[in-house]
Amino acid sequence: MKNKITIGSRESKLAVLQSEMVRDYINEHNPDLTVEILTMKTTGDKILDRTLDKVGGKGLFVKELDHALLEGRSELSVHSLKDMPMEVPAELPLLAFSRREDPRDVLVLPEGVTELDRSKPLGCSSLRRTLQLRELYPDMEVASVRGNLQTRLRKLDEGQYSALILAAAGLKRLGLESRISRYFTEEEMLPAAGQGILAVQGRTNVDYAFLDGYCDADAWSAGSAERAFVRFLDGGCSSPVAAFGVVEGEELFLRGLYYNEETGNWFKDSIRGKREDAEALGIALAKQMKESDRTKTDKGEAE
Do 80 and 206 belong to one domain? Answer: yes
Do 159 and 238 belong to one domain? Answer: no
Mean pLDDT of the chain: 90
Task: For residue 136, give the CATH number of its domain.
Answer: 3.40.190.10
Do 152 and 301 belong to one domain? Answer: no
The span from the CA of 31 to the CA of 261, in Å, is 51
Q: What are 223-273's pLDDT values in tens digits?
A: 999 999 999 997 665 668 999 999 999 999 999 999 888 888 889 999 999
Give the model's confidence band at 147: pLDDT under 50 very low, under 70 low, under 90 confident, else very high.
confident
Do 87 and 109 belong to one domain? Answer: no
Cα separation values, 258 from 174, 195, 263, 269, Å: 31, 17, 12, 8
Give the model's confidence band at 137: pLDDT under 50 very low, under 70 low, under 90 confident, else very high.
very high
Do 174 and 261 belong to one domain? Answer: no
Do 273 and 145 belong to one domain? Answer: no
Q: What are 165-197's pLDDT values in tens digits?
A: 999 999 999 999 999 999 999 999 999 999 999
The span from the CA of 11 to the CA of 282, in Å, is 33
Q: What are phi and psi of 211, to 5 degrees?
A: -95, 0
Do 59 and 114 belong to one domain? Answer: no
Do 91 and 160 belong to one domain? Answer: no
Q: Note the pLDDT of residue 256.
A: 97
> Which residue did the predictor score with more confidence, 298 or 102?
102
Residue 179 belongs to a domain: yes
Residue 300, C-beta contacts closer than 8 angstroms, at least 6 positions apart = none
What does the pLDDT average to over 93-110? 98
* Contact call for residues 151 and 171 (beta carbons, < 8 A): no
Residue 189 belongs to a domain: no
β-bridge pairing 76-80 and 242-248? unpaired
Q: What are 47-100's pLDDT values in tens digits?
A: 444 444 444 444 455 788 999 999 999 999 999 999 888 889 999 999 999 999
- From the list 181, 194, 189, the residue with the least C-alpha distance to 268 is 189
Q: Note the pLDDT of residue 300.
A: 60
- From the list 168, 106, 146, the residue with the least C-alpha distance to 12 is 146
Do 290 and 303 belong to one domain? Answer: yes
Report pTM: 0.89
Do 153 and 201 belong to one domain? Answer: no
Q: First and final CA of the chain: distance in angstroms?
A: 66
- Which structural domain, as residue segments, surrounds residue 55? 1-98+197-214
Q: Where are the alpha helices (DSSP H) in the chain?
A: 13-29, 43-46, 52-55, 63-70, 127-136, 149-157, 168-173, 217-232, 278-302
Cα separation values, 128 from 40, 97, 114, 190, 240, Å: 28, 23, 26, 8, 4
- From the list 189, 111, 202, 90, the residue with the least C-alpha distance to 157 is 111
Residue 192 belongs to a domain: no
Look at the chain and report how many structural domains it folds into. Answer: 3
Residue 190 belongs to a domain: no
Residue 268 belongs to a domain: yes
What does the pLDDT average to over 278-284? 98
Tell me the percentage of the chain whose pLDDT exceeds 90. 76
> Residue 95, Cα to own-chain centre: how many angstroms?
17
pLDDT at residue 24 greater than cutoff 50: yes
Residue 167 belongs to a domain: yes
Q: Note the pLDDT of residue 49.
A: 45
Residue 188 belongs to a domain: no
- Exactly one of 66, 83, 105, 216 is catalytic; which is it? 83
Strand partners, 80: 198
Q: Note the pLDDT of residue 57.
A: 46
Tell me the percentage of the chain whose pLDDT exceeds 70. 89
Do 59 and 42 belong to one domain? Answer: yes
Q: Note the pLDDT of residue 124.
A: 93
Do 49 and 175 belong to one domain? Answer: no
Q: Note the pLDDT of residue 42.
A: 63
β-bridge pairing 34-40 and 251-259? unpaired
Task: Label residue 38 exposed, middle or buried (CB < 10 Å: 0-12, 13-18, 19+).
Answer: middle
Residue 191 belongs to a domain: no
The span from the CA of 37 to the CA of 155, in Å, is 29
Q: Note the pLDDT of residue 135.
A: 93
Q: What are phi and psi of 215, to 5 degrees?
A: -70, 130
- From the list 22, 25, 14, the residue with the least C-alpha distance to 173 is 14
Our answer to whether residue 83 is catalytic in this structure is yes
